[in-house]
Amino acid sequence: MSSAGSEVDERPRWHGSTADERCARRRRQLLDAGFHLLGTQGAAAVTVRAVARHSSLSPRYFYESFPDREALLLAVWDDQYAAVSGRVETAIADAPQDFLGRMRAALDAAAAWLEQDPLRTRAMLLETISDARLRLHARRRLPELVLRTAMRSVDGGALDSLPEKKLATTVTATSGAIVNLFLEWGSGGLPVGRDELVDSVLDVVTAIVSAAIDGR
């Protein structure tokens, strides 16, 4: 009787890899190609033909992983979001437990991530403003990241005490301010260092949150 491990080992392999492994590699190639196009030329450039050409794969392999270009476009954004979200989660886990400490750690982690690859600013920020599909997709995810950071702090309960509509407005305003400041910085419009950026964004975030709590 075969064990689960032997069943996996007995799957057909080609040049040392299974069909699933090859499919996963091709999907990764397509995501990387889509990200490059999104970050250099924008969402309109992310077409099936362009992605296939840039990844050196045929269109049939594109459709093996994605039903259409819109699905790839959102998958590219989600792939990058997962990367920055992971950085933020790690940063706030090691940060002081108060709101300012958690938020500073989150902002610095996100800024450092953007700084490592200039394409990320356009792909993750600019295109969520200029492309309708990405805007609808991102307008929930980005505020969620901000809210999760705030609620992980010991004094995050102050936000939780806001009425639901007020909380939604506050978190959306906060995430919008963060996106715009990070976009200007990442695009060269704010000639400040990362530490200065984080300090400035934190000032804006604190002002928005404090005004919401004081006016509840």
pLDDT score recorded for residue 149: 86
pLDDT score recorded for residue 54: 97
pLDDT score recorded for residue 142: 87
pLDDT score recorded for residue 86: 95
Q: Quick one: CA dihedral 74, 205, 155, 99, positive or negative? A: positive
The per-residue DSSP string of 129-148 comes to HH-HHHHHHHHHHHHHHHHH
pLDDT score recorded for residue 157: 58
Would you state the CATH architecture of domain 71-214? Orthogonal Bundle (1.10)
44 and 132 Cβ atoms separated by less than 8 Å: no
| Residues of the chain with confidence (pLDDT) below 50 | 1-10
pLDDT score recorded for residue 8: 44
Would you state the CATH architecture of domain 10-69? Orthogonal Bundle (1.10)
Provide CB contacts within 8 A for 175, sequence distance 6+. 142, 143, 145, 146
pLDDT score recorded for residue 50: 98
pLDDT score recorded for residue 148: 84
pLDDT score recorded for residue 105: 95
Reported as type and span, the H/E element at residue 13 is strand 13-14
CATH 1.10.10.60 in the chain, residue ranges: 10-69
38 and 73 Cβ atoms separated by less than 8 Å: yes
pLDDT score recorded for residue 1: 43
CATH 1.10.357.10 in the chain, residue ranges: 71-214
**pLDDT per residue as tens digits for the range 90-133:** 999 999 988 899 999 999 999 999 999 999 999 999 999 989 99
pTM: 0.86
pLDDT score recorded for residue 15: 58
